[in-house]
């Protein structure tokens, strides 16, 4: 079934594109955003402003994670750090002792 990309939000489309690219393939932000704009058939008056707007949306959405060198991936690609779970468990154990 073909997806109607024009009805999707930019961030949902970014999520779909990154999901399709796979865990080992983060995408450079400019390539990702240009693909989003292309799939949405958006006419651009100012490409830089459109890139900035979509980049801001991706940056504010916790589903996305900056991977370095201008590339973005999905937060779900990397499991939470073991340290964070260990710290939370230590806090719970300390509370239980009190």
pLDDT, tens digit, for every residue of 5-40? 778 899 999 999 999 999 999 999 999 999 998 998
Using the 8-state DSSP alphabet, how is residue 10 labeled?
Answer: H
Using the 8-state DSSP alphabet, how is residue 70 labeled?
Answer: T
**Looking at the whole model, is its pTM more than 0.85?**
no
Query: Are 14 and 54 in contact, with CB atoms under 8 Å apart?
Result: yes
Q: Where are the domains of the chain?
A: 5-97
Q: What are phi and psi of 49, to 5 degrees?
A: -65, -40
Instruction: For domain 5-97, say whether CATH 1.10.8 is its number.
Output: no
pLDDT in tens, 31-89: 999 999 899 887 778 888 888 999 999 999 999 999 999 999 999 998 776 445 545 55
Is pLDDT at 95 greater than 70 in this prediction?
no
């Amino acid at each position: 079934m073909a997806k109607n990309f024009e009805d999707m939000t930019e961030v949902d489309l970014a999520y779909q594109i990154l999901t399709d690219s796979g865990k080992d393939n983060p995408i450079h932000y400019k390539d990702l955003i240009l693909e989003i704009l292309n799939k949405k058939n958006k006419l651009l008056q100012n490409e830089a402003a459109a890139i900035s707007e979509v980049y801001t949306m991706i940056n504010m959405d916790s589903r996305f994670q900056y991977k370095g060198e201008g590339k973005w991936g999905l937060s779900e690609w990397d499991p939470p750090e073991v340290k964070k779970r260990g710290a939370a468990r230590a806090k719970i154990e300390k509370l239980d002792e009190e």
